[in-house]
């Protein structure tokens, strides 16, 4: 089987340098989609002028943001600085959202540091023109931690709205089976228990999502090199719940282009930015590849194979989480 991944780019600055000459966008530049559907910018989410350039006067009904919260976890930025930084891209989001709009923000909670940045972010959001709507948890199949604490397997997603945006409850129906036996009920005179009644098409995910597979190298949607890729299934769920076909959806932290690709699949228009030219290029390539081949990513391959056929150094490959880790079985 082919095994030609790009190592995690956050751990390999030298490889990032090799890729830079192959990137089409420089900071501040915007890629115009030849099909006129999406916009991809190599832009800074905190720069109001760059954000305005990307939007070119259009308004989005949905924002899905996944900022790099490890800046706090790894002590690269104090919590106050981080929150001040968040406030700036939240304000830039508010400036380009429609009056009826939804905002989803993925955020970490460092259990060794007062669960930051989640609580201070929530407090900051109380001054912003949004209503809090739901606190969603997505369950990972693999986790991290020690033998002395609960294994961390959750990802947090905050849902806010302003005005009265759409919410399609159909998007929430899933194939999640019921987990527990033991709740008995009479149906048509027959005693049935929970698991028996779970074979319904209408089970709602609620705000704990346990049915989403983390991305790993055997999946078609895998984008090696990216260290924080969200699965398409969760992004598609958000988009279907909170937007209509042809609506504009924004994502200020594009990375692997998950929101972009989900928009392409679901007939929405995406405006997305990443301040790193390499990730902006990966997004462009992922969209082009999907249009040309129907593939959602690079299972066992990588986005720069034409220019750099292979990264053969096995020491770098083993550090690539997308390569190394097999998912555990789902545990319910």
Interface with ligand SAM (CB under 6 A): 44-46, 66, 68, 226, 228-230, 252-253, 255-256, 258, 273-276, 279
Identity of the residue, 248 or 280, whose beta carbon is nearer to ligand SAM in the bound complex: 280
Smallest gap from Cβ 288 to ligand SAM, in A, equals 17
Smallest gap from Cβ 229 to ligand SAM, in A, equals 4
Smallest gap from Cβ 105 to ligand SAM, in A, equals 11
**Cβ distance 95 to 49 under 8 Å?**
no
Cα–chain center distance at 167? 19
Identity of the residue, 68 or 163, whose beta carbon is nearer to ligand SAM in the bound complex: 68
Identity of the residue, 11 or 99, whose beta carbon is nearer to ligand SAM in the bound complex: 11
- Strand segments, DSSP code E, in 228-277 are 248-251, 269-273
Smallest gap from Cβ 155 to ligand SAM, in A, equals 11
Identity of the residue, 211 or 274, whose beta carbon is nearer to ligand SAM in the bound complex: 274
Identity of the residue, 86 or 97, whose beta carbon is nearer to ligand SAM in the bound complex: 86
- Burial of 93 from C-beta contacts in 10 A (0-12 / 13-18 / 19+): buried
For residue 319, give the nearest of 18, 19, 7, 2 by alpha carbon: 7
Smallest gap from Cβ 203 to ligand SAM, in A, equals 26
For residue 279, give the nearest of 28, 25, 69, 54 by alpha carbon: 25
Maximum distance among all Cα pairs of the chain, rounded to whole angstroms: 71
Rounded distance between C-alpha atoms, residue 89 and residue 96, angstroms: 11
């Amino acid at each position: 089987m082919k095994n030609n991944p790009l190592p995690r780019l956050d751990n390999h600055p030298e490889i990032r340098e090799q890729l830079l000459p192959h990137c089409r966008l420089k900071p501040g530049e915007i890629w115009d989609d030849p099909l006129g559907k999406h916009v991809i910018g190599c832009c800074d989410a905190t720069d109001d002028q760059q954000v305005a350039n990307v939007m070119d006067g259009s308004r989005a009904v949905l924002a899905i943001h996944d900022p790099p919260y490890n800046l706090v976890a790894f002590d690269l930025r104090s919590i106050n600085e981080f929150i001040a930084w968040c406030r700036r891209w939240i304000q830039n989001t508010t400036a380009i959202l429609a009056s009826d709009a939804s905002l989803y923000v993925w955020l970490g909670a460092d259990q060794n540091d007062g669960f930051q940045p989640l609580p201070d972010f929530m407090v900051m959001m109380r001054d912003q023109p949004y209503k809090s709507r739901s606190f969603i948890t997505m369950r990972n199949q693999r986790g991290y931690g020690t033998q002395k604490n609960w294994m961390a397997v959750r990802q947090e997603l905050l849902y806010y709205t302003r005005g009265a945006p759409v919410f399609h409850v159909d998007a929430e129906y899933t194939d999640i089976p019921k987990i527990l036996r033991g709740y008995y009920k009479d149906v048509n005179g027959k005693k049935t228990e929970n698991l028996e009644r779970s074979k319904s098409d209408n089970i709602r995910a609620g705000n704990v999502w346990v049915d989403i597979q983390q991305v790993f190298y055997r999946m078609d949607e895998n984008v090696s090199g990216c260290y924080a890729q969200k699965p398409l299934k969760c992004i598609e769920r958000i988009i279907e719940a909170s937007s209509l076909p042809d609506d504009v959806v924004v994502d200020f932290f594009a990375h692997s282009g998950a929101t972009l690709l989900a928009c392409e699949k679901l007939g929405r228009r995406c405006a997305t930015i990443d301040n790193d030219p390499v990730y902006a290029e990966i997004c462009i390539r992922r969209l082009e590849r999907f249009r040309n081949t129907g593939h959602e990513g690079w299972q066992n391959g990588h986005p720069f194979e034409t220019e750099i056929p292979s990264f053969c150094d096995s020491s770098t490959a083993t550090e690539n989480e997308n390569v190394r880790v097999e998912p555990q079985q789902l545990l319910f």
